[in-house]
Structure formats: structure tokens, C-alpha cells
Homo-oligomer: A and B are copies of this chain.
Amino acid sequence: MMKTRGCCASICQCFFEYSTPKILVIRSFKVGTLNRITQALVIAYVIGYVCVLNKGYQDMDAVLSSVTTKVKGIALTNTSDLGLRIWDVADYVIPPQEENSFFVLTNLLITLNQTQSHCPEVPKTGFDCTSDRDCKAGSRDTRGNGVQTGKCVKYSAVDKTCEVLAWCPLELDKEPPNPPMLADAENFTVLIKNSIRYPKFNFNKRNILPYVNKTYLEQCVFNRITDPDCPIFRLKDMVTEANEDFQTMAVHGGVMGVQIRWECDLDMPSSWCVPRYTFRRLDNKDPVNNVAPGYNFRFAKYYKNGNNEETRTLIKGFGIRFDVMVFGQAGKFNIVPTLLNVGAGLALLGLVTVVCDWIVLTCMTKKNIYNEEKYSYVDDFQLLSNETP
């Protein structure tokens, strides 16, 4: 009975104990100043960098985004093949819709009225021949345009090449026109509609800001100084902002990044959360190492002629692909990251003691006094006890 009571009491006693480290306070100009300077540095770092710059007291969320685009504009071309021809959005945006991207045709090589038939290959190393023996029936070369029939036929007055089964006439391997055929594309405009959401904070916004009305939207064009909130962009302006020349880029095509940045401090009024647009060329146009420059792809329009035979128009389209990249973070005050950062700050303050202790106990003239006061010793050595002071 007595024992149980004693045990119970000792648990109680233990529960009501509070342990706190014993502290040696050193009063000294030098040491105190050193201490305060080090503390001030750590506190300035924690408050300045972690809290103010990195907003360590905020919970963060990444942006969810949805983008739709609509290009407008008319281009006029005049070539011997096609005559005078108008190009509208259904002609030059390929494919007609994509998720976060749109492609505008700016230049093209067109091969009309191709049919599945036989014709001589384009002269190139490996396809030249003098007799049928130089051509292997059934051979298909990735650099070629079709399957060889095994015959050697006249390509021109001088050249003979292997005959192929292919979409004939073959596309000529030539440089794209310069200036580009759809030079007018520089004046096309694109309306970029972007809705964003920060799911953690249930915050939605879109890049057509509340004060933008239909009248403004019908006539505005983005301009960094005069119209920074207009979501309609002139293609040339975008390319110019990326320090590129539109007409040069249009010849071989390329890839442009349209970056929409939503950095939102949701502790501030939500109207301060606005998109920032920047533009950058994404593909490399390194002039030194100019391998396979630009952006182009081949596509075809298929027709049937009177005899129910399939013909096609092959287009090697050069153009600019605009990738719309939406990124950003929203922050809002939250107790969890605040505690975490306060904790990390206190941990760093622990470093102050380490640094000051080292200086105080090794460099100061009175280090022996400090040492004596700070440290007590329990000695447990038999072997070395005779050598301890």
C-alpha cells in the first residue's frame, strides 16, 4: 500500500517537473556585441529572405489552367501555281484546334495534283542511275519518296534516276520562298482566353479582366505600355517582344512560347492578381550550329477526280507554333508553414550559440574563466587520469 502510494507519487512528481537548461551569462562588450551581431544577421536573413521575399508564412498552390485561342486575319498570295488566293483562318490554322497551342502557316511549298503512279526520283546521291541495273525493285530508302520499280528513267534532259511508285509528281526538294508567302501573317491577331483556378483556395480568375467590356475587346491590341490587359495579340508584336524578326522567322518557321504568369498574393485584394505576358522563342536558331532549323510539316488535302481516282495536294507547311504556357503560384497566410518557418528560424538561431561559443572559448583572452564556468567535469578514466590537469 505504502509502495503503491510512493510509486504513484513519484510519477506525479515526474509529471510536474519542468526541465530547463542552466545558463551561463557572460557580460562583456566584445562577446555581447559579437552575439548580437550574429543574432541580428540570422534574424535579418530569416525575416528578410524567408518571410518577406519567399513569403514563408503563406501556403502555396499551383495553378490549374484552361486555354482557348482564336486567330483572325486574312492573307493574300499570288503564285503561278495557285494564282491570286485568299487564306483565311480555316486555311492556315492546322489542326483547327489544339489544347494549349496553335499553329499559323506562314510559308509553304505546294505540290498539286499528286496521284499514286510512277515517276523518276528526285536526283540525289543514291537515286541516280545509268541503267536499270542501278535500281533495285522494291527498295525503299527513308530519304526517298517511294518504292523503286527497278527501272531507270529520264528525269530531265541530262539526268536519269530510278523510277518509283509514289505520289507523283514528287515534291521538289527546294528552299522555301523568301519573303514568305503568307507575309501578311504578321498582322494576324489572336485572342487568348485563359481561365485559371487555385483549387486549394477556391479562387478562379480569367485573363479577360472584369473591367474589360465587349467594345474594348473588339478594337484593342495588346501593347505592353498602352494596353497591358488586352488579351488580343498581334503575331508580329509577340515575335518582336522575343527579339526576333517576324519575316525572317516566317520563312523557315519556328516555335514561340507565350508565357502567362499568374503570381497571386491572395492576402492582398484579388484585383491585384493579374496575368503577366512574356514571349520567348523556344526552338534554337543558333546560327553556328544550324542543323535542321525552323518548324515545318507535311499535310495533304485529298480529292477524287471524275474517274473516282484519288488525287491530293501536298503541302509542306512552314509556320510558327505558339505554345501557350500558363504558370504561377498563389499564396495565402496559413498557420502551418508559418510555424514551420518560425521553427526553422529558431533552429538557425541555435547556430549563433555554436559560432559564439567557439569564438568565446578559443579566441578570447579570458577564455579560461569562461571555460571553467561553462564546463563541469565528471571524470571516469583510470588509464589517463594521471594526465588530466
Contact = CB atoms under 8 A, between A and B. Distances in A.
Interface of A: 6, 9-10, 12-13, 15-29, 31-36, 45, 49, 64, 66, 68, 70, 72-74, 76, 84-86, 88-91, 93-101, 103, 116, 140, 142-147, 165-167, 184, 187-189, 191, 193, 195, 197, 204, 206, 208, 210, 212-214, 217-218, 255, 257, 282-284, 286, 289, 291-292, 295-306, 308, 311-312, 314, 317, 321, 323, 325, 336, 339-340, 342-344, 346-348, 350-351, 353-354, 356-357, 360, 366, 369-370, 373-381, 384, 387-388
A275 to B, nearest CB: 14
A72 to B, nearest CB: 5
Q: Is the interface of A mostly helix, strand, loop or mixed?
A: mixed
Nearest to A165: B86
A216 to B, nearest CB: 9
Contact of A384 (B9, B312, B339, B381): B9
Contacts of A35: 17-18
B18 A204 contact: no
27 contacts: A9-B384, A16-B31, A16-B381, A17-B27, A18-B26, A21-B23, A25-B378, A28-B381, A29-B381, A64-B325, A68-B321, A72-B143, A73-B142, A74-B144, A74-B146, A85-B116, A95-B96, A98-B98, A99-B100, A140-B184, A142-B188, A191-B292, A195-B282, A208-B284, A303-B304, A339-B348, A346-B351
Given A103-B97, A140-B74, A378-B369, A295 B20 contact: no
A86 B116 contact: yes
B255 A68 contact: yes
Given A99-B100, A103-B97, A15 B27 contact: no
A213 B283 contact: no
A182 to B, nearest CB: 12
Nearest to A10: B387
A26 B32 contact: no
Contacts of A387: 6, 9-10, 13
Nearest to A100: B99
Given A20-B357, A95-B95, A360-B20, A300 B90 contact: yes
Contacts of A366: 378, 380
A347 to B, nearest CB: 5
A13 B292 contact: no
Most buried by B among A24, A165, A387: A24
Instruction: Kindly list the 8 A-B residue pairs having the minimum CB-CB distance in the complex, ordered from nearest.
Output: A16-B32, A66-B282, A28-B380, A96-B299, A90-B300, A18-B35, A95-B95, A303-B304
Given A18-B31, A94-B97, A295 B68 contact: yes
Nearest to A90: B300
B20 A33 contact: no
Contacts of A34: 18
A44 to B, nearest CB: 13
Contacts of A305: 304, 308
A166 B88 contact: yes
Given A86-B166, A208-B284, 10 more contacts: A18-B35, A20-B374, A21-B22, A28-B380, A74-B145, A90-B299, A99-B323, A193-B292, A195-B282, A346-B347
Contacts of A323: 66, 99
B16 A33 contact: yes
Given A66-B283, A70-B297, A23 B20 contact: yes
Contacts of A6: 387
A24 B388 CA distance: 16
